[in-house]
Chain A
Amino acid sequence: MEGAYDEIISDNPFFIQFKNEYSNLLQHCISQSWIICVPRIGSLNTRVFTVEDFCAHVLVPSDELPETHYSTLTEKQVTVANKVITLEVTKGLPLQSHILFEETFYTEDYIKYKVWCVETPLEPNTNVGDCAITKDYLLSINDCIDLLWTQAAGRQVLDQIELNVQQFLKKHSPLPIALAPLRDAISELYTQCLQSTLQNRRLREKCKVSKHLLENIKLSVECYMQHLLFDSLFKPICTICAYEDSHLNKKIRNMCDIQLRDLDIKKELYHAVPKAKQILSKIVTYNTVLEKVLCLKQALNAINKKDNSNNVVLLTADDLLPVFVFLLIKSSIPNWYSQLKYMKEFRFSEVGNGDCDESAFLITTLEAVIEHIQSGALAGPPNPESYYYESNLTEDNLNDNGQRKNSLTESISTCDTNSREETLEYVFDLIKANNSEQVQYLLEKNQRHLQSLQQNERSAVKFAENQDDDDDEDDDEEYETEIYQKLCHPLCSCKKCCSKISKNLLKTSPTVSSRDSHGLTPLHIASIHGKANIVEILIDMGAKINATDLNECTPLHYAASRGHQNALLLLLHSGASINQANIDKNTPLHLAVNNGHMNCIKALIYFAEHGRKNLKINCTNEHGNTPLHLAAKWGYEGIAKLLIENGAEPSLQNHNNKTAFDYAHNLKILQVLKLSTPNLYEYIHITSTEVKTLNCKTDNPVTLKLQSLKTRNNETNNVTKTVENLKRLERIFQAISYGDVKLACFYMNIKYENYANTNITTDRLSCHPLCECQLCKKTHQTISDYDINFADSNGLTALHYAARYGLDELCKILLLNNANINSSNRKGQTPLHLAALNNKIMVIRFLLDNGANINAIDLSGNTPLHDACEVGNIGATKMLLNYNPNLNMINGSEKSAIEVAKEKLHLTIIDLIEKHTNKIK
């Protein structure tokens, strides 16, 4: 594993001296296959050793327990357990030393002897050299940061790496969307980071002494770099791997009901699977390759543990692969391929070692597993139903599977109650074998039998009343005679005849509406296996179209989830309910999307369109996910596109407050989602929290409306209106920033001319609420379809912008159109704040004249006066003071306005405020 201790033993002074000066002793040790311990370089501060020193480091295996018990040549008893040597000493605690690694030496005549590199000398009272070695393994990003921090004695190295990464991101924005250039760019950055790290003199000196440290430093630098870079780096990787990921996801989704036994996994390993699954699912939470690989290793170790009866379960590759396949399928991580590529291609510190460490092995294992799933070898024959068929088998009927298949072709002669022909399973098997004629024959026969039984009851009564009345039973003539001929007499009640009749009553022949233990009807089975002709037959025979099984799934659910378009269409045309939810509140559309069956989604949409059915495209399942959430999560680009074209709304939140945008893990999907909101690049960055704050502005009528719209999911029109408003807002803001009032008014559908020539007195808005004078009329005239108080994702309204850019004319117009003068943006700032910040004196006066709250506070507790003092806007301060603000208000850092000014040394302002206070007094 990475970071394990290593040194060249032949260069160790202890070993060199042993070899050169006591070669006879060494030869003897070799011939006796005694183990030689070598204290790691640097653990001994002396360079002169006596013969006792060497003897103390030769371990002679004991006769009884040669594996664990040894004695040194100095007659000390030594035990070895779990890579730790324990040396008994005469007084005090036993001495312990870790075995860092073992190296097997061969002499020129290929005689083998073993050398253990130990952490500390095996002698009491020796002066231990330098401080203990650095951590043996780097296990997390924290270890890496720790190492860089302590070894460089401060955070300058970390800062340097941060700086490098920032510069890199500035320079390479956006990052290339192809693996080779991306990898090369990052590799260059890594070299840069390493260079700047080793410029630290302290580190350089230390690394010169210890190669081990150098390796660890390299690894740490890589980790820290990846840690900083991950967010910007992983998206492009996902985008590069988008195609592979979505294909893998489709394969995995369609296998998601696979069971352990289907994969030939050893029974002893079953118990370890949940734990391993839990560990492996954490892989997405790690940012660095080191941690991701470690996560793989831990998952593997979890499988590798002892079983219930405490026996060691040894995993061979044959056992390991199926377990990993299972874990991958069940993990519900949508970007395994990207994870693999990241781990494989962005490990720079190990490049020199080729494929020779355990990390490489683990990554290769993951690659092999993905390849195995991709290859389709798992699904067996190409048609999915055969796979389902296999996976449905329990262990008990696994054996008679072959025999049963054979029996399908044989004609069955006997007809007793327990005959195979009479079981539902047999009918199911016939359906799976696509034997439509036989199915039809059997079910029809049983149906007739059932009908006749019912009629028998009735006729038996009739019989007694009216013996001649036979005409009614013409239909069942054949069957009647069949039974009654067997009886001694039609009315006989002897033992034999009674049992014959009761046998008939006890018959449990399957019919078209029979169900198995899972509540599956023949129609379900036919839909699962996509046998369109049988589906047709069953429907004709009156099968219940919307019958639900244990999971409340209808045949339509199965046809959709298995991707059987023909069966799906047949069911739809026969009146299957298109929006039926199963136990998880999944509609057939959900299932089809989840499993990536484009053909079925198209069929559903097409049918709904032409059959004038209302397909709920934004329907939510138990977790609040719409089909679009699923498509985004699994990276089905084409499907997402199709859904959006048909009115799916990407901004809907699920129960975790996540939108489809949040689930999209690559740019391609994002691009598709963006389709619904053309030209609005900003919208993409709106995360769910921002959507929420948008919704929370209850004083804002449009967002209120928007909120109520969101609950009514189907009204896509209204949502797109919001989007249009956002687009328009963007244009308005642009116009304002140019200072073009006319253009801004045009965008807002306000007639600028109406206001251009009028001399509005600044101290009143209209003469009277009901005034009908020319001026007031004009004000109310303009009924804009654009809401003046509409705010963008930062909570900025047009008035905010007008205030910021000092357009007092526009402010007037906006206020005349009922703009909210005290609306606050996301930071809690009112337009007055912005005017104060930007020293727009005219606007300040206008706003204050029209009722703006002079003591309004933003989220950090600042009043407009605080802001003006902070920035040092003399004019703004003067103007604000004219309107008697509360000078004693303190902001979030408990400072009044004058204190802020003092802090910033704005002398004029301090003077102004002091004068004002004196005046008041």
Chain B
Amino acid sequence: MSIATAPTEDKAPTVARRQRFDLQKLLAFGALIVLFGFFSVSSHAFLSWNNVTGILLSASVVGVMALGATFVIATGGIDLSVGTGMTLAAVMTAVFLNPDYLGLPLVLGVVLGIAFGSLIGLVNGVNVAVLRIPPFIATLAMMMAASGLALVISDTHPIYFSDVPGFTSISLGSIIPGANLPNAVLIFFAAVAVAGVLLSKGLIGRYALSIGSNEEATQLSGVDTRRWTIAIYTLAGTFTGLSGVLIAARLNSAQPALGQGYELEAIAAVVIGGTSLSGGRASILGTMIGALLMAVLTNGLQIMAIPQEWQRVAVGVVILVAVFADNVRRRREAGH
């Protein structure tokens, strides 16, 4: 999968930039390989199939969320609402499916749950593109409102899916017979493929990058940037909705108090993956690597029984190194 950059920036020496960009992606990928190797040697337990699928499963909720956030960050925006938006989508999925509430059929309830995520994104998009509220503020407001609404709608109680047959298998079942690979992991990979195609081949990806590198120029070239911005935030919300379904299926419940802080993990995954916070450059594959890197690091340190305090330090250092690499790249670029 190639790295997507903004078409309007192609005046600059593309080849050189791609090489440098690939360098950072390689750095993240290299770090993933090195960590994986290190933990495999350090602990026999690390490389077991159960543990590897466990790592993939633990990366899938934040990973799916981060895929959507990648598009928003590509525009130079930010989406702080993905964490609690996930929670609200999970609660709404419970409301749609739980027999004590609406008790809709499984497929319909899941689709509506994901669509509710899209609605959250749509409101974000309108606030940013039409009302011209800065993305940080608009999505911060949504982060708080979504957290509150999740508690209000659930009446502060977790809502369970015990009476919704088949729901937990969305995350924990395994459609590949005998493979013991949880469906959530397959859904994560499928979402990566869809997001990758949308970013590199779809209009929405091209315009997201284009808006991120120069919104005015994009608008002058005849693109309705307002409409596309709304579409991009809505897409991010759709991934948020999907992550809400995944976490609800994994926990067999919608936990209304969960989710705060997940947005920062998603943003970290995006940044580690080489997507620039100032917009114009993004990589879906990078985001996936970023999410996996954090999951491998956390799991490996847990397996080695490293105290949790140090696990956090390690994740912090990885984020710092990734952003530092991003800065070095940009500074070199400015030197041209």
Real binding pair: no
